[in-house]
Amino acid sequence: MAGYSIGALIRHALTRHRHWPRAWRDPAPKPAYDVVIVGGGGHGLATAYYLAKNHGLTNVAVLEKGWIGGGNTGRNTTIVRSNYLLRANALFYEHSLKLWETLSQELDFNVMFSQRGVLNLAHSKAQMDAYARRGNAMRLNGIDAELLSREQVLKLVPLLDGSAQARFPIEGGLWQGRGGTARHDAVAWGFARAADARGVDIVENCEVTGFRRTGDRITGVETTRGPIAAGKVGIAVAGHSSHVAAMAGLRLPIESHLLQACVSEPLKPLLDTVVTFGAGHFYISQSDKGGLVFGGDLDGYNSYAQRGNLPMIEEVASCGVAMLPCLSRLRLVRHWAGVMDMTMDGSPIIAKTPLEGLYLDGGWCYGGFKATPGSGWVFAHTIANDAPHPLNAPFSLERFASGALLDEKGAGPTPGWH
């Protein structure tokens, strides 16, 4: 793999950057692989990278029906954090956050990880109590957390409506300083380049249309580019999890909903952290290009369309203006949607399936971008060893039968309420 360095940059500048090698190859699919990963989003690519790097499995293909990173990886609001209450979630997301901290060096690709901090606003005494509880749990799990007073919050983000007339006056907040944002496309590209360099085939425009099986064992996939035999198959298709698993005869406890996000016209720097609203569902940060990137709740109906509706944009904008009144004069440049794989407890599934040789990484709900390196790490472990890593053992499919749910928000089996 050609290294990206200051020396290489200068050398290529001398020839007007016309001779950079391809970042990854464009191979035709082979008839058989040891492992096939379905889905070329961040999760599929990270899984392939860690299969090669941590487990020495390089006869691996990632099959992507469109272009890599064109799914939720390239559509999300890029918030990275590990401020979870439940131990299973906290330990898993903290492992992922630790991988983020050195990811650019690991991949020799700038994923623009910016630890600008994540602030959750509280608007009532009860919410402050809940945040104190969550912050204490985080600290007990070795994760940084700080409970901020109203004054500290307003000092940190002076743009917030701190007046007594605010629709939801601010009481305080929970702060995770190590949280932040990353450049979403770069994460897909960085993992793709590093996996390719270790011999993984990344095959774009190759849709998986069915599974080959002998009894209860999966032996390969059918694709739009022909059949491919595989020793093991991992599904990492996010919003399409139920659809793809159904091709293997599995019914998942997942509903597909749309989640929209918006970006404003670019502005001079005005918000240097991530802020979430505690009185509604709203989160915002400023991109390096200057646009304010924000989002809110799901569109309330099941869909696979990657475009949303205006009523939700209105609701999101009203939460935003209640929190940051200066947003009312902003122009919106774009809004778009991704398909969310909502599980019935709000936590992911990273597990073996009832079919031998078939593994599932899905059910990411609102929060799988931050999990990208961590999920790739543990999913690769699960596939290579045919057994879960201790960090993803709780994220099994069986929990929906046994009742050992990981209901982080206590919202119950209603995706729209997560």
Ligand X SMILES: Cc1cc2nc3c(=O)[nH]c(=O)nc-3n(C[C@H](O)[C@H](O)[C@H](O)COP(=O)(O)OP(=O)(O)OC[C@H]3O[C@@H](n4cnc5c(N)ncnc54)[C@H](O)[C@@H]3O)c2cc1C
Q: Which residues of this chain interact with ligand X, rule CB under 6 A?
A: 38-44, 63-66, 70-73, 75-79, 207-208, 236-240, 244, 259-261, 295, 338, 340, 364, 366-370
* Closest of 409, 377, 406 to residue 100, by C-alpha: 377
CB 219 within 8 A of CB 31: no
Whole-angstrom distance, CA of residue 411 vs CA of residue 198:
42
Q: Which is nearer to ligand X, 4 or 296 (CB)?
A: 296
Q: Which is nearer to ligand X, 102 or 205 (CB)?
A: 205
Transcribe 282-311 into DSSP letters.
EEEEE-TTS-EEEEEEEEEEE---S---HH
Complex with ligand X: residue 72 or 127, whichever CB lies closer: 72
Closest CB to ligand X among 4 and 273?
A: 273
Cα distance between residue 228 and residue 35, in whole Å: 10
Minimal distance, residue 45 CB to ligand X, in Å:
7
Q: In the complex with ligand X, which residue's Cβ is closer, 171 or 296?
A: 296
Long-range contact set of residues 265-269: C-beta below 8 Å, sequence gap at least 24: 265/291, 265/330, 265/331, 265/332, 265/333, 266/290, 266/291, 267/291, 267/292, 267/330
Residue 39: CA count within 13 A, CB half-sphere: 26
Taking the complex as a whole, the smallest distance from the CB of residue 22 to ligand X amounts, in Å, to: 20
Chain centroid, CA 363 distance in Å: 11
Instruction: Identify which of residues 207 and 325 has a Cβ nearer to ligand X in the complex.
Output: 207
Closest to ligand X by CB, 237 or 324: 237
Neighbours of 329 (CB within 10 A): 7
Rounded Cα distance between 92 and 90, Å, is: 6
* Closer of 236 and 313 to ligand X (Cβ): 236
Paired tokens of 201:
């085939």
Q: DSSP state, 147?
A: E
The whole-angstrom separation of Cα 86 and Cα 402 is 18
The rounded distance, in Å, linking the Cα atoms of 244 and 178 is 35
Distances (CA, A) of 165 to 89, 123, 161, 172, 203: 37, 13, 9, 16, 56
Select 208 or 378, whichever has its Cβ closest to ligand X: 208
Q: Which helix (H) or strand (E) holds 322?
A: helix 310-323
Q: Do 201 and 29 touch, CB atoms closer than 8 A?
A: yes
* Smallest distance, ligand X to C-beta of residue 194, A: 16
Residue 56 CB: number of other CB atoms within 10 A? 9
Provide, rounded to whole angstroms, the least separation between the CB of residue 245 and ligand X: 10
> Residue 210 CB, nearest distance to ligand X (Å)?
9
- Cβ atoms of residues 360 and 233 within 8 Å: no
Task: Tell the smallest beta-carbon distance from residue 69 to ligand X (Å).
Answer: 6
HSE on the CB side for 293, CA within 13 Å?
A: 20
Q: Which is nearer to ligand X, 75 or 389 (CB)?
A: 75
The one-character DSSP state at 84 is: -
Task: Tell me how far, at minimum, the Cβ of 133 lies from ligand X, in Å.
Answer: 22
In the complex, least distance from residue 388 CB atom to ligand X, rounded to whole angstroms = 18
Least distance CB 44 / ligand X (angstroms): 6
DSSP, residue by residue, 179-197: -EE--HHHHHHHHHHHHHH
CB nearer ligand X, residue 128 or residue 254: 254
Minimum separation from the CB atom of position 18 to ligand X (A): 30
